[in-house]
Amino acid sequence: MVDKVLGNKKAIVFFLFPALVIFIGLIIVPIIMSTYYSLQEWSGFGKGTFIGLQNYKGLLSDPIFIKAAVNSLILAFASVFIQLPISLLLALTLAKGVKFEKSFVTIYFIPVIISTVVIGQLWMKIYNPDYGILNLFLKNIGLGSLASEWLGDPKRALTATFIPIIWQYIGYHMLLMYAGIKSISTDVFEAAVIDGSSWWNTSMKITIPMLKPVLNVSVIFAVTGALKVFDLVYVLTGGGPAHASEVIGTYMVSTIFKGNQYGYGSAMAIFVILECFVLSILVGLLFREKGEAK
């Protein structure tokens, strides 16, 4: 029965058509519209004026946008080289078999399913300069000089904002990697044990190389997620103070809805789309096996 359906092109088109319509309506059409508006000077009211690539040229000379783009790249770098290694270490540790393994997997994944607004409010309480647990902890261990107004200090706001973002999605990537490790045949690990391979050696030379497709997906998700981040930054700082924690998402929203510069904001949106697309291709090329078709 399944073979008959898969061999029937009309049936395939019938079942794929609803998904295709949704994909076009929710993704392709908005991208086309954003591209159209990005070529105009438009306040959101009346008729826009076609100005070609002037909005994109403006981005390159806008110091706030450049700072926001750099901040997004810093988050992408931190996600790949801080968040993912922690997730991988947790996945390797849990997958080798520990007591209450399933419980730990669930606990580490809980931050992912909690509302971003709740996460933001939680960390705002942690960072509070008067009663926040972070400053109280520093004072109690004799490091009161390090206490700070974390989200209000331009020198510390960026780091303080990015820590919750990285923390929230450690469990997400951990679960992907954990599932990937569990899908590897146990015969491989049993053979390694028989050969006298240690857990660390097995992880480095067997598990991680076999986990490469999952790592590829995790890196792409981490990079693209960092480039389009908005919600948690908006809740914690709104991009402040003095644009210290500004990312493209927060700057785009303030430009469109507060500055009524829909054309300029649309240019930022297209920039993020192209940035995610290009970096996803680059990550795929880095993970491509030798001799694999281009």
Residue 294 has pLDDT above 60, yes or no: no
**For residue 192, what pLDDT is reported?**
87
**Arithmetic mean of pLDDT over the chain:** 90
Q: What is the pLDDT of residues 209-254, one digit of tens each?
A: 999 999 999 999 999 999 999 999 999 999 989 999 999 999 999 9
Name the pTM for this structure: 0.89
Sheet strands (E) in the chain: 40-41, 49-50
174 with 87: CB under 8 angstroms? yes
| pLDDT greater than 90 at residue 293 | no
- pLDDT band at residue 5, thresholds of 50, 70 and 90? low
pLDDT level of residue 194 (50, 70, 90 thresholds): confident
Where do runs of H (alpha helix) occur along 79-132? Answer: 84-95, 101-113, 116-127
Distance, in Å, from the CA atom of 71 to the CA atom of 68, rounded to the nearest integer, reads: 5
Q: What is the pLDDT of residue 86?
A: 96
Domains and CATH numbers, the chain: 63-287 (1.10.3720.10)
Residue 44 CB contacts under 8 Å (≥ 6 apart), including other chains: 256, 260, 262
Question: Is residue 277 very low, low, confident or very high in pLDDT (cuts 50, 70, 90)?
Answer: very high
Burial 225-241 (b: 16+ CB within 10 A, else e): bbbbbbebbbbbbebbe
Q: Provide φ and ψ at 240, rounded to 5°.
A: -90, -170
Mean pLDDT of 165-181: 95
CB count in 10 Å sphere of residue 134: 18
Contact 29, 37 (CB under 8 A): no
